[in-house]
Amino acid sequence: MTIAANNPELRSWVEVPANSDFPIQNLPFGIIRPTGKTARVGVAIGHYVLDLYVLASHGLLRELGFPKACYGSRHLNALMQAAGKSGMRALRQRISDLLNADNDELRGAELVRNEALIPSEHVDLLMPVRVRDYTDFYASEQHAYNVGCMFRDPDNALMPNWKHLPVGYHGRASSIVVSGVPLHRPKGQRKPPDADAPVFGPSTRLDFELEMGFVTFAGKPLGESISVAEADDYIFGLMLFNDWSARDIQAWEYVPLGPFLGKNFGSSVSPWVVTLDALEPFIVPGPEQEPEVLDYLRQDSNGHYDVALEAWIETPAGVETRVTESNLKHLYWSMRQQLAHHTVNGCNINVADMLASGTISGSEPHEYGSMLELSWAGSKPVALKDGSERKFIEDGDTVILRGHAEKAGVRVGFGEVRCQIQPAL
């Protein structure tokens, strides 16, 4: 499929720096709150955001036919519900046309332009979607193998089911926060290896997980399934996703029903939803799946995405160190397979459900997507630029995830998600 808005030749009349995550080929959607105004839908372009409520108020989005209130909403849910996949695609195309260097419709309407195009430092970026349900997968083979080695043993690292289905669990939507919102270190039960009984207190093994989450449109009625071939029609876009994890709480509680309080105290997401359409130029083949998967998980075309991912730790004094470099293409199970598996039993998805990938680790140690793996359960401290070391995340540390795809001179990025860890309450 050729998507006109992805054309690498397109240029905007808005100045976009060469290293920007947000050229005219991206146009991610978010919820902005300009100084002194209410929340509304925005689109990022270079160092600016475009206020879609202003555009709608001046009739510039009339041809799309969506209620104006959708653009003035606190979350993207209403717009996603009204527009669906084809409508959001048409809206992105309309924004692309309005920002195109060859188009004078908005550029020439000075009053509207000045009101709608806002320097990004003059807006707050809010949580873009009201997440209805959140599911976390475990779709990176290297990560599953590494954790299996540490929580069990290398001979028993991958469970017998792992290469037959995308393992996942239902997480907690209420504690998903947007970039910039701090979280407190969680408290809970843990059992020190040499102790006979568990103890209670703040987690001593707080960790990040470098993940990508995707946001869905409304799915099919309860009882029906979304196939691998249909999956793209139900995926709106992707966000950086830090699935905060307390490894000591997790290791003690996870048998036999899986993650619970070691995970549900918080997850952090980036504020811009990069559409699946914008990532279409960056599709790549995935790893060969052996043994062959069951028919309902088979994918006939390439369904992985080449997106470079990074995690950084910023110390309380403000020194940033990149601690890992991974890539979305390292996933064993594609997003299509995740969604097909999620719904194969008839489970229904709703608008703005969040499905996260699980930690994405590459095969090299510097590509591991969590401190658990980078420090190998605390046995190999990670050196930071200020000379200090980390086995896990300390109070006052800020973890930052960044990601972008690049091809043919076009960079489509996600911005960042940052979250500072504050002491336990």
Residues at the contact surface with Mn ion, assessed by CB under 5 A? 136, 209, 243
The 8-class DSSP code of residue 100 comes to B
We find the least distance from the C-beta atom of residue 243 to Mn ion, in angstroms, to be: 3
Strand ranges, E, within 73-167 = 117-119, 123-126, 134-137
What span, in angstroms and rounded, lies between the C-alpha atoms of 31 and 79?
Answer: 11
Separation CA 108–CA 106 (nearest Å) = 5
Helix (H) or strand (E) holding 92: helix 77-99
How wide is the angle at C-alpha 190 spanned by C-alphas 185 and 194, nearest 5°?
135
Phi, psi of 93, rounded to the nearest 5 degrees: -65, -40
Catalytic residue flag (residue 143): yes
Which CB sits closer to Mn ion, 147 or 340?
A: 147
Q: How far apart are CA 157 and CA 273, in angstroms?
A: 34
CB 27 within 8 A of CB 18: no
31 SS3 class: strand
Structure tokens of 91? Answer: 């809206």
Amino acid letter, residue 33: R
Task: Kindly tell me which of 133 and 136 has the beta carbon lying closer to Mn ion.
Answer: 136
Q: Say whether the peptide bond before residue 154 is cis (omega within 30 degrees of 0).
A: no
Q: Which helix (H) or strand (E) holds 139?
A: none
Q: Which residue has the tokens 């206020």?
A: 51
User: Could you count the other beta carbons within 10 Å of the beta carbon of residue 378?
Assistant: 15
**Within 13 Å, how many C-alpha atoms sit on residue 203's CB side?**
30
Distance CA 237, CA 283 (A): 14
Q: Smallest gap, in angstroms, from Cβ of residue 88 to Mn ion? A: 27
Which token pair is 193? 């290896």
Phi (first) and psi of residue 330, to 5 degrees: -75, -10
Q: What are phi and psi of 147, to 5 degrees?
A: -65, -40
The length of the chain in residues reads: 425
**Catalytic option among 75, 143, 330, 404:** 143
Catalytic residue numbers read 143
